[in-house]
């Protein structure tokens, strides 16, 4: 074995089986799509929620004619490789060393090894820097608190009753006096960890407007902070 990464790599171990499976799926993909998939990997790594990632996968399915299962496996393999480059002792491994080692391990034949080498070189060229930055940034953003994983909202119409029922009324003769409708917004937030993994709640339009205003102000503060950091680094 020539590379540091695969010098002690056991493809049959439970730890490495997933990579071996993703690699097998990847080499079945038409090589003419590899350059564009390497670019798509950057978009996938930048997606911070499930819905954003779903949108990128949908674009991959349409543009590259790859189904979600194949694209997901190929992305899993790409993520694994980029994570290795984040380790200082593995950063010097070359695409040629990796492809030769995988061939020696019996995971690639000679033709597949050449295709893999070309993809890794392209991945390192266009995806390594943005993916490494996004990985480090996300690790910092995650901290110790649960992080938002996905969210959704719906709007329902609720009837306005002028004479709501109470215990003093006769249920058999009660007739509701419906005078209108009011919109009610329901929101669900899902988190990646914690005792409570999702929270559902409702709010009125005016309350939603206040929440949106608060979130917009937080975005403005975050944008200004990023500007100041950029100035300090330049």
- Of residues 176, 158, 9, 164, the one with CA closest to residue 98: 9
Count how many domains the chain has.
2
Model pTM above 0.75: no
pLDDT digits (tens, 9 = 90+) for 207-226: 999 999 999 999 999 899 98
In a domain, 9, yes or no: no
In a domain, 1, yes or no: no
Q: Are residues 24 and 129 in the same domain?
A: yes
In a domain, 31, yes or no: yes
Mean pLDDT across the chain: 86
Q: How far is Cα of residue 203 from the mean position of the Cα atoms in its chain? A: 28
| pLDDT beyond 90 at 11 | no
| pLDDT beyond 80 at 60 | yes
Q: Are residues 167 and 132 in the same domain?
A: no
More confident residue, 171 or 82: 171
Q: What confidence score (pLDDT) does residue 98 get?
A: 92
More confident residue, 183 or 138: 183
Q: Are residues 108 and 160 in the same domain?
A: no
How far apart (Å, rounded) are the C-alpha atoms in residues 130 and 46?
Answer: 8
- Of residues 12, 5, 8, the one with CA closest to residue 106: 12
How far apart (Å, rounded) are the C-alpha atoms in residues 110 and 176?
Answer: 77
Give the pLDDT band of residue 92 (cuts 50, 70, 90): confident
Task: Name beta bridge partners: 199.
Answer: 189
């Amino acid at each position: 074995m020539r590379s540091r990464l695969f010098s002690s790599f056991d493809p049959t171990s439970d730890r490495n089986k997933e990579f071996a499976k993703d690699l097998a799926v990847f080499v079945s993909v038409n090589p003419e799509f590899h350059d564009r998939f390497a670019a798509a990997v950057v978009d996938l790594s930048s997606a911070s929620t499930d819905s954003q990632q779903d949108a990128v996968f949908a674009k991959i399915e349409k543009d590259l004619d790859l189904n979600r299962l194949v694209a997901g496996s190929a992305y899993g393999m790409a993520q694994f490789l980029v994570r290795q480059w984040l380790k200082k002792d593995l950063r010097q491994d070359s695409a040629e060393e990796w492809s030769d080692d995988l061939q020696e391990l019996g995971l690639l034949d000679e033709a597949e090894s050449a295709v893999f080498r070309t993809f890794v070189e392209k991945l390192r060229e266009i995806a390594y820097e943005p993916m490494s930055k996004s990985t480090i940034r996300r690790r910092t953003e995650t901290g110790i608190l649960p992080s938002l994983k996905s969210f959704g909202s719906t709007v329902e119409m609720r009837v306005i009753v002028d004479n709501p029922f109470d215990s003093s009324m006769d249920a058999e003769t009660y007739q509701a006096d419906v005078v209108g409708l009011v919109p009610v917004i329901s929101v669900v937030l899902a988190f990646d960890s914690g005792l409570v993994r999702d929270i559902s709640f409702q709010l009125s339009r005016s309350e939603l407007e206040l929440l949106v205003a608060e979130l917009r102000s937080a975005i403005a503060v975050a944008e200004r902070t990023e500007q100041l950091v950029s100035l300090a680094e330049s």
